[in-house]
Structure 1
Amino acid sequence: MKLISFLITFFIFLLNTFSQIFIKVTADDNDLADAPGAIANTYTGCAWIDYDNDGWLDMFWVQRGLYHNTGVSFEKNTDADIAVTSGIGTSWSDYNNDGFIDCFIAGGGTNGSSLYKNKGDGTFTKITSGPLTPATGLRAWACAWGDIDNDSYTDIVLAAPFGFAGIDDENKFLLNKGDGTFEKLDTILITQGTAPYTIATWSDYDMDG
């Protein structure tokens, strides 16, 4: 019995010894660690992405900004040209297959949602054509990229919680046409009816491809 107790204790010791340990980063020269805290009474999403393809994961924080990972610290990218005064959720994908990941921000109220194309030089361009204009026509809480038709171009679904954040309509779906433009589909099932939808996610649950 003593041997069993010893082995169990030793096993737990090994688990603790080799387990991952997290510490809070508080360095003064780290812009992300020094960023303002959460905005009161407001939800803001974030995403880890490598927007400059340097092998280091960068951080985008809605309403706070884009933070470049230098490999030793984070520096706020003040030249990104991504609006940080509004927005709720975010999702990133290389929608035009140019090798650089692009940013979609879901938002409600008077600002709505916006797509920002990665120019590959650390800056972004807001897309204002097709169904992306006006932005208030795409009010949403969350968003998620996925390839609904297997054409190698990612499409995006927007979750719209009716009655929240100035959202007074249904979910939205934008089909990527593969030429840099999108088509808003209003007749598919996920855009029918209103409810407090707050999360958007994709999966092939029935494994049919």
Structure 2
Amino acid sequence: MGSGAAFLDYDNDGDLDLYIVNSASLPGFVTDTPPTNVLYRNDGDGGFSDVTTDAGVGHLGYGMGCGTADYDNDGDPDLYVTNFGENVLYRNNGDGTFTDVTVYAGVGDRDRWSSSCAFVDYDQDGNLDLYVVNYLDYDIVEDGKWYDTNGRRIYSNPRVYKGVSDTLYRNSGNGTFVDVTQHAGVYNDTGKGLGVTCGDYDNDGRIDIYIANDTTPNFLYRNMGDGTFMDLGVIAGVAYNEEGVAEGGMGVDFGDYNNDGFLDIFVTNFSRETNTLYRNNSNGIFTDVTYIEHLGDSSFLKLGFGTKFFDADNDGDLDLFVANGHVYSTIESQSDTIEYAQTDQLFLNAGESSFLDVSGECGTYFSVKQIGRGAAFGDYDNDGDTDIFVVNLNQKVGLLRNDGGNENNWLKIRTVGVKSNRDGIGARIEVITRSHTQIREVQAGSSYLSGQDSRLLFGLGAETRAEEVKITWPSGLKQTLAKVKANQFLIITEGLGAQTQQLSR
């Protein structure tokens, strides 16, 4: 099922570093040389150096995923790692090292199988809270009873296990967190969660939370503005697919793919289910448009994991990437059409209700069958387009450098909160050109088990400037910049304007 990775600039030198989660020994099992998680420092010349030991983040747990954000508002990104077993929170010391503050912070969740996570300021108090997705009540002994028709061990079906509730931790502002799962209304022990994404889907100024569940209905937690949430997944039409079936949800993301000002939802699912694209109808209701947008047939025989809306070609609309790979190593003995290792996919947004699978035109990586899992997205080489890092199960990882996206113009933005949280997580940015109006929200959690670059990259196509850039901060403050030139990196500080930063390349 694992694992994930995250892009983060842990040393604040202007380029993205990379943290990769590995799965060591399961609790109760011993391996002579268990793999650790790994932190790679971006050298700025296209290469990376292993700094795991020096940084102190080589965790030995049975790792699943990770997320990154500045939870203590001190100006550098911290790191949260989810495990089968106790999770870990690493506080960035600002000197290239981290400290394990899990016990002090109170976010270990010791007895759970956690998967994805997201930092989100759900109560808009300026401190980032933490949502942890938990999978199911797994039993190693029970799992050992499952074999295929040829007597080979396979994963058991998640339907045989009980669900467990996710956990919402409220940031107290003093380095500690409080479990508010029950109080906030997000306790639901029927869920079998694997993916999480946060965004303001109803444009009411509050960040909502969406959970992709495996074989159980997905959750859409609407933020009620009083510290509580209400699950409107069924009412909103995003708990099931258009046939009323709860799918095997894995990865997930919010994104406005049709540029109508409302966030849509994309979920990757199990084979023979298709991935699912839910279009936001701007009235609190979504429509499953998977087949309308030509995303059904191409995903029916795939098993999708890591995914994200991003503008691969910087033409001003959001495209989609999906990392694929089955979970049953023996699936090919049971099916003539489904493979264990599968090719990943890139779908370009062609507008007019159509995504095009252009994977065959995107380099040799897309022709090689992988067992894809987590996927992280960010501009690691600072050239103005979005690159992708893919974690593959028991195979080499994939670092996919985007070499064509910057042929179109672009604008990169980093938000720095003052009254809002330091990262500006939850800020909504609207970029207006003569031909497009785009919205993005600053996130700290999406895809599958992975963390993303918190800098937002807008494709401008042939436009040489943005007529306006509008920022709505989590605090409610609004800012507008006029006539912003293309092909630059802006750091926008809440209430203080913008400055251009030279990209480290």
Q: TM-score, normalised by structure 2?
A: 0.31
Q: RMSD of the TM alignment (CA)?
A: 2.0
1:149 is aligned to 2:123? yes
Cα contact 1:160–1:197 (8 A) shared by 2: yes
1:80 is aligned to 2:55? yes
Cα distance in 2 for partners of 1:122, 1:154 equals: 22
More helix by share: 1
Query: Aligned-pair distance for 1:208?
Result: 1.2
1:160 is aligned to 2:156? no
The residue matched to 1:53 in structure 2 has which SS?
coil
Give the AA of the match of 2:71.
Y
Cα distance in 1 for partners of 2:113, 2:167 equals: 9
Quick one: percent identity of the two aligned structures?
Answer: 33
Aligned pairs for 1:37-186 within 5 A: 42-63=1-22, 64-72=37-45, 73-77=47-51, 78-86=53-61, 87-108=63-84, 111-127=85-101, 128-133=103-108, 135-137=109-111, 139-164=113-138, 169-186=164-181
Give the AA of the match of 1:104.
Y
Cα contact 2:64–2:83 (8 A) shared by 1: yes
Query: Aligned-pair distance for 1:122?
Result: 1.0
Residues 153/76 of structure 1: CA separation in 2 closer, same or farther (3 Å cut) = same
Cα contact 2:76–2:94 (8 A) shared by 1: yes
The residue matched to 1:201 in structure 2 has which SS?
strand
Aligned to 1:16: none
Q: How many residues align?
A: 165
Give the AA of the match of 1:71.
G
Residues 50/122 of structure 1: CA separation in 2 closer, same or farther (3 Å cut) = same
Aligned to 1:190: 186
The residue matched to 2:90 in structure 1 has which SS?
strand
Cα contact 1:186–1:192 (8 A) shared by 2: no
Give the AA of the match of 1:158.
V
1:206 is aligned to 2:176? no
Q: Which runs of 5+ in 2 are unaligned?
A: 23-36, 141-161, 206-505
Cα contact 2:170–2:180 (8 A) shared by 1: yes
Cα contact 1:171–1:194 (8 A) shared by 2: no
Cα contact 1:52–1:121 (8 A) shared by 2: yes
Residues 102/175 of structure 1: CA separation in 2 closer, same or farther (3 Å cut) = same
Give the AA of the match of 1:105.
V
Cα distance in 1 for partners of 2:7, 2:163 equals: 30
Cα contact 2:105–2:175 (8 A) shared by 1: no
Query: Aligned-pair distance for 1:107?
Result: 1.0
Q: What whole-Å deviation, never above 9, does each CA across 1:7-53 have from its counterpart, x for those lacking one?
A: xxxxxxxxxxxxxxxxxxxxxxxxxxxxxxxxxxx511101110110
Residues 130/50 of structure 1: CA separation in 2 closer, same or farther (3 Å cut) = closer
Query: Aligned-pair distance for 1:201?
Result: 1.4
Cα distance in 2 for partners of 1:150, 1:51 equals: 25
Give the AA of the match of 1:91.
G
More strand by share: 2
Q: What whole-Å deviation, never above 9, does each CA across 1:161-186 have from its counterpart, x for those lacking one?
A: 11348797310111011111100113
Residues 52/92 of structure 1: CA separation in 2 closer, same or farther (3 Å cut) = same
Aligned to 1:32: none
Cα distance in 2 for partners of 1:130, 1:178 equals: 11
Give the AA of the match of 1:116.
Y
Residues 123/199 of structure 1: CA separation in 2 closer, same or farther (3 Å cut) = same
Give the AA of the match of 1:131.
G
Cα distance in 2 for partners of 1:194, 1:137 equals: 17
Q: Which runs of 5+ in 1 are unaligned?
A: 1-41
Query: Aligned-pair distance for 1:83?
Result: 3.4
Q: What whole-Å deviation, never above 9, does each CA across 1:81-136 have from its counterpart, x for those lacking one?
A: 1133222010000000000100001111xx32111000011111111225335x51
Cα distance in 1 for partners of 2:19, 2:86 equals: 18
Q: TM-score, normalised by structure 1?
A: 0.73
Residues 70/81 of structure 1: CA separation in 2 closer, same or farther (3 Å cut) = same
Give the AA of the match of 2:21.
V
Give the AA of the match of 1:132.
V
Give the AA of the match of 2:168.
F
Q: What whole-Å deviation, never above 9, does each CA across 1:124-155 have from its counterpart, x for those lacking one?
A: 1111225335x514541111111101112111
